[in-house]
């Protein structure tokens, strides 16, 4: 009799366990999340940015906020859902794997208890900019070979200007002529710098560092947030070619608790060095300056003005050191030289 009761008890427990489906288990784990409204095969439209300070939604390599942002996807974009819903690592939102052009990644369905993704049945998928879907180089390698100067003749000099329109069109103008559009960036560029010989430009936006040929507009995504291992709320903000045209100084902006910070990196364009951080992050914004002859670059912090280092082992002697002066009653704020 005891054996039969035990058998019945084991059977009942097993039956109870079998009734907890994977969907129910995930719903329990994501109890604080908004109810999922999408499924595999649906089309969905982005109606909110992941953060109000940044453009678009965070497309991530994994479902959660840990790790870098693969791309920033503009509000209004329509994508195809390929997986999900899946409870995110933080257990407060469901995530969906989507196709965004040739890219694939995860989008959060909710932002601060608001739906950021909404069903869009029958809507046409958005075709993203080619610069947005470009794949970053696995390792930085030479990209300078074959760069050309489209209008330079023998002994001639060219006034070349590189700029972006408000809608992200990257343009080149020579000798005062109307600009010619070479490519489009979405989000729009944050900074542009021509190579020392004018034959190419470096462009940065929230998605990474790009090399653009000034002759034909061919684009290489030199590095993105995954290459530089940037966390969320950190992005390339400024770029400057270094003398010789084979390296660049990159400014990284970071937003934490409403406060912006800036750090400087060295990026090798010819593949001779791995990216490395050259400062302590104590610089003000736009702290890079190039000499009028273009042969030197300096950077300033709240303590000194120093030459840009040659390599990761270079500890350059500051050109000028100073004692920071306090700014008002705030002990954490300092007047920075301009």
Per-residue pLDDT tens for 138-176?
655 544 444 444 444 445 788 999 999 999 999 999 999
Burial group, residue 73, by CB count within 10 angstroms (0-12, 13-18, 19+)? buried
Among 109, 107, 114, smallest CA distance to 62 is for 107
* Helix spans in 105-165 (H): 130-133
- pTM to 2 decimal places: 0.83
Query: What are the backbone dihedrals phi and psi of residue 127, each rounded to the nearest 5 degrees, phi first?
Result: -95, 110
- pLDDT tens digits for the chain (338 residues)? 444 434 333 333 333 434 444 454 455 679 889 999 999 999 999 999 999 899 999 999 999 999 899 999 999 999 999 999 999 999 999 999 999 999 999 999 999 889 999 999 999 999 999 999 998 876 555 444 444 444 444 457 889 999 999 999 999 999 999 999 999 999 999 999 999 888 999 999 999 999 999 999 999 999 999 988 999 999 999 999 999 888 999 999 999 888 898 999 999 887 777 888 888 776 788 889 999 888 999 998 878 889 999 888 888 889 988 877 776 677 667 666 66
Query: Do 50 and 108 touch, CB atoms closer than 8 A?
Result: yes
Per-residue pLDDT tens for 252-268?
999 988 889 899 999 98
Domains of the chain as residue ranges with CATH: 30-126 (no CATH), 160-335 (2.130.10.10)
Per-residue pLDDT tens for 91-121?
999 999 999 999 999 999 999 889 999 999 9
């Amino acid at each position: 009799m005891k054996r039969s009761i035990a058998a019945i008890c084991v059977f009942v427990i097993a039956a109870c366990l079998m009734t907890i489906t994977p969907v129910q288990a995930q719903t329990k784990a994501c109890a604080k999340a908004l109810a999922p409204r999408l499924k595999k095969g649906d089309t969905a439209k982005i109606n909110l940015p992941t953060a109000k300070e940044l453009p678009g939604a965070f497309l991530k390599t994994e479902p959660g906020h840990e790790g870098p942002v693969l791309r920033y996807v503009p509000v209004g974009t329509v994508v195809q859902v390929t997986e999900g819903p899946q409870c995110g690592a933080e257990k407060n939102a469901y995530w969906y794997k989507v196709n965004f052009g040739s890219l694939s990644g995860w989008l959060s369905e909710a932002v601060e208890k608001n739906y950021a993704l909404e069903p869009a049945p029958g809507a046409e998928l958005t075709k993203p900019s080619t610069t947005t879907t470009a794949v970053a180089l696995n390792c930085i390698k030479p990209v300078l070979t074959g760069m050309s100067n489209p209008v330079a003749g023998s002994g001639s000099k060219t006034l070349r200007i590189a700029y972006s329109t408000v809608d992200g069109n990257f343009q080149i103008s020579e000798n005062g002529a109307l600009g010619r559009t070479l490519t489009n960036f979405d989000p729009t560029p944050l900074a542009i710098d021509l190579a020392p010989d004018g034959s190419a430009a470096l462009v940065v936006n929230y998605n990474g560092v790009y090399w653009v040929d000034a002759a034909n507009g061919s684009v290489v995504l030199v590095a993105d947030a995954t290459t530089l291992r940037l966390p969320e709320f950190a992005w390339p903000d400024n770029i400057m070619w270094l003398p010789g045209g084979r390296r660049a100084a990159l400014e990284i902006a970071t937003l934490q608790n409403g406060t912006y910070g800036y750090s400087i990196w060295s990026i090798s364009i010819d593949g001779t060095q791995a990216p490395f951080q050259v400062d302590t992050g104590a610089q003000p914004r736009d702290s890079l300056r190039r000499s009028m002859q273009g042969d030197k670059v300096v950077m300033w912090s709240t303590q000194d003005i120093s030459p840009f280092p040659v390599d990761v082992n270079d500890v350059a002697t500051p050109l000028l050191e100073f004692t920071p002066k306090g700014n008002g009653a705030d002990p954490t704020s300092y007047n920075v030289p301009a």
